[in-house]
Amino acid sequence: MSLPPPDSTFSRRTLVVLMEDKPGVLSHVSNLFRRRNYNIESLTVGHSETQDISRMTVVVHANDAMLEQVAKQLYKLINVTKVSEVNTDDAVMRELALIKVHAPSAQRAEIKQVVDIFRAQIIDVALDSMVIEITGDESKVESLISILKPFGIKELTRTGRVAMMRGSLTANGTRFGS
């Protein structure tokens, strides 16, 4: 019996990379993607629950073969301790966005209604603008942005995807409490 061929379709894939928290590690990881000519769609890095270990979430547009190659190359980096693909069925995925929108006093009530519908928050108010914070899946963030566009978006920043395994499974492959 032969195995089916690897999936050649490209899709958005999420990798969680655990690595030693040392200077230059992020540069090595991003250079690996650059050398392979893979575009990083989003990249977030921060401290993990383990001292001296950082957690990187990378979103790339790739097929199975590309993802396997990236994982093999990541493991060759001395400071990388674990690489895991996280799929949407097994994980909680979120993004944070801050949106500064043009908000003269005549439009503030309408903007507030929209913000409330999306369960977002107004975190700063100035004479002619508001800063709105939204956390959720990417489609929720995109929807709020598209609704706020007619008001005039002055500035926008997004974290990119962060992901965590559901239930007792962790990114390092162990079960919680093990």
User: Do the Cβ atoms of 68 and 137 come closer than 8 Å?
Assistant: no
Quick one: how far is CA 7 from the chain centroid? Answer: 23
Total domains in the chain come to 2
Whether the per-residue pLDDT at 7 is higher than 60: the answer is: no
User: Phi/psi at 175 (nearest 5 deg)?
Assistant: -90, 145
Average pLDDT, the chain: 88
pLDDT at 2: 42
Do 76 and 110 reside in the same domain of the chain?
A: no
Do 35 and 75 reside in the same domain of the chain?
A: yes
Quick one: how far is CA 61 from the chain centroid? Answer: 13
pTM of the model as a whole = 0.79
Cα separations in angstroms, 123 against 67, 107, 153: 38, 17, 15
Q: Which domain holds residue 53?
A: 11-86
Do 97 and 151 reside in the same domain of the chain?
A: yes
Provide the 3-class DSSP secondary structure of residue 37: coil
Where residue 45 sits, what CATH number does that domain have? 3.30.70.260
pLDDT digits (tens, 9 = 90+) for 56-115: 999 998 888 888 988 998 998 888 999 999 887 788 999 999 999 999 999 999 999 999
CA-to-CA distance for 25 and 79, rounded, in angstroms?
7
78 found inside a domain: yes
Gyration radius of the chain over CA positions: 20
